[in-house]
Amino acid sequence: EVRIFAGGALHYRTDAAIPLVSYSNVDPSLLQADTVRHGGVEIPYWPCFLDDGQRLKFPVVALEILQYRPQAVLCYGDGSPVQALLAGRVPSVLFPSHSAAPVGPADRYVSLWDRATLDARVAEGDWPQTVADRAVFGAAGVRYPTPARSVDRAELVPEAELILAIVGTRIAGEIRGDFATRLARFLAERPGVHLLTLGVADRQRVLGEELLPVADQVHCRGYATNLADLLTGCDIALNPDRQGAGTGSAIAMAAGCPVVSLNRGDTATLLAPSDLSADLDAYFGRLARLVDDADYRAEASGRMAERVEAVLGFVPAMQRLVATVEDLAAPGSASGAGSGR
């Protein structure tokens, strides 16, 4: 038996704004629902509070979970007060929502990094050994959308010989500074290469001062429900130096659009170490090779499509997660589980 204790809104859609509440993207219909239907199964949930500002939200949700007497709890997102209140009372598995080292308590930690990379981060002193000791690998499955149809480059930017894509809703603030200056220089040296941003339609905000000199090569589209389709018409996806955007990069990889990324941030957890760049010099060197060498670009496209499925494949990941939960819930396990439901 599974229950979801959300303590508030469960579902977010970037195209579902609530009237008169401009800062919210919550789908309000789900706040009144009693269950979530997934895979033909109705899962009940308890949204006790409708906003995060109510101080009793966390202790009440924690109490409801304890009264349910679960054998294990999956905590999605790190650092919640509920996560801390449950520590030592019920076994927990932490599903992080980003690639940084977790700070909240958990008996098991679902690592977004592969074992070799996580061990290297521990050796470099970036991560504590205690986290690595509790890590579970291969359980971070995601059902990312895949293309329903292929889009021609000419449908997106007719005059482009090659399209670079950047995906995200915070692009205007993420492609600034040295990265944007170097990107503008890169585009200026290659007039047939165009940049298409997907997620922010405000072109002036995206251009800023840095990209203004190559404005004719920059094109902007807002939020799109067919993102996977659009990325099939792009040649290379760029990931700026940012936290987040892992889902957008996964969609790009699955669509056959190779990704360029630094060796940090959520996207870096998806790529093989050999495909990551240590600094902007390496980043733009890798980009230049992808742009100039069509054979290398095609090889990277196929390799990254296979890589994202290997890292995020949903069915094997859920099998690994189920095994982890069963181990925690087994009588006499090291976590002290075995009682309750």
The long-range contacts involving 299-303, CB below 8 angstroms and separated by at least 24 positions, are 300/258, 300/275, 301/256, 301/257, 301/258, 302/256, 303/272
pLDDT in tens, 181-192: 999 999 999 999
- In 3D space, the residue among 198, 172, 267, 223 whose CA is nearest the CA of residue 25 turns out to be 223
| Range list of β-strands (E), the chain | 35-38, 41-44, 73-76, 92-95, 108-110, 135-136, 162-167, 193-198, 218-221, 236-238, 259-262, 276-277
CB 196 within 8 A of CB 126: no
Relative to beta strand 41-44, strand 35-38 is: antiparallel
pLDDT in tens, 112-138: 998 988 998 899 898 899 989 999 998
Record the pTM: 0.79
C-alpha to C-alpha distance for 28 and 10, rounded to whole angstroms: 10
Position 266 pLDDT exceeds 70 = yes
Q: What is the pLDDT of residue 54?
A: 62
CB 15 within 8 A of CB 5: no
pLDDT in tens, 192-243: 999 999 999 999 999 999 999 999 999 999 988 899 999 999 999 999 998 8
> Residue 336: pLDDT band by 50, 70, 90 thresholds?
very low
Q: What is the pLDDT of residue 34?
A: 72
> Residue 152: pLDDT band by 50, 70, 90 thresholds?
very high
Position 331 pLDDT exceeds 90 = no
